[in-house]
Amino acid sequence: MSVGIVLVSHSAELAAGTAHLAGQVSGGTVTVVAAGGTDDGGLGTSAAKVERGLREADTGAGVVVLPDLGSAVLTVRAVLEDMPGRRVIMADAPFVEGAVAATVTAAGGGDVAAVAAAAEEARHARKL
């Protein structure tokens, strides 16, 4: 049982592609749910998709949520207010790097705090 990950993006394709990448890099043992786009498939975020994603990703060890841009944060916050009592942390992290770092840390058995910290530390990781 590992921490689940929810990726909230304005783009369904961006969320799905990032979830695929994070799953591949981490070995596929972690539940990574893409919650991207609006309910009618446009660019934006959907409270219904975020809520479904949180339920699907929570296998008992809690969930770390990564928003792609600031306004996704508003959607996640609104959903979390209606879902009290769940172990959910929203991480302030670069989307792709944070998703990969969080998922690998979850695959290694990290708890919600460790997984969220790994995502947030991604901001300091140099690529070059």
Site for another protein in 15-74 (CB under 8 A): 21, 24-27
Nearer to another protein, 54 or 100 (CB): 100
Report how far residue 77's alpha carbon sits from residue 90's, in angstroms, rounded to the nearest whole number: 9
Considering only residues 51, 79, 105, 112, which one is a binding residue for another protein as defined by CB under 8 A? 105
Tokens 């989307």, located at residue: 95
Closest CA to 9 of 35, 32, 31, 33: 35
53, 125, 63: which is closest to 94 by C-alpha? Answer: 125
Provide, rounded to whole angstroms, the least separation between the CB of residue 86 and another protein. Answer: 24
Residues making contact with another protein (CB under 8 A): 21, 24-27, 97, 100-101, 104-105, 107-110, 118, 121-122, 125-128
